[in-house]
Amino acid sequence: MLFAIVATDVANSLEKRLSVRPAHVERLKALQAEGRMVLCGPNPAIESNDPGEAGFTGSLIVAEFESQAAAEAWAKADPFVDAGVYASVVIKPFKQVLP
């Protein structure tokens, strides 16, 4: 089943994000290589694809997991969680309708 992982950053998270981004992206690429990734990306803090020092306010990942528990375990092991980038993470089942 698909799950939406919606994370909200702590204030001023940019430095923390940048420090562990390579490890975070590697995990996302692994999901993609397994054919489980639907989409993922950060939420810029301003209306810009490159927000610069404004940074980001969170992230969205929609991917396939065998269960809610598996999605939660995967999200809990994210380098952004360990580094304190995220203030909160919400995981919900997701039903893709379009496209």
Domains and their CATH numbers in the chain = 2-43+53-94 (3.30.70.1060)
pLDDT in tens, 81-94: 999 999 999 999 99
- pLDDT score recorded for residue 94: 98
- Helix (H) or strand (E) holding 76, with range, is helix 68-76
Query: Running along the chain, 99 residues long, what does each successive block of 10 average in pLDDT?
Result: 98 97 98 98 97 97 98 98 98 97
pLDDT > 70: what percent of the chain?
Answer: 100
Q: SS3 letters for 4-59?
A: EEEEEECCCCHHHHHHHHHHHHHHHHHHHHCCCEEEEEEEECCCCCCCHHHCEEEE
Amino acid, res. 33: A
| C-beta separation of 91 from 68 below 8 A | yes
Entry pTM: 0.95
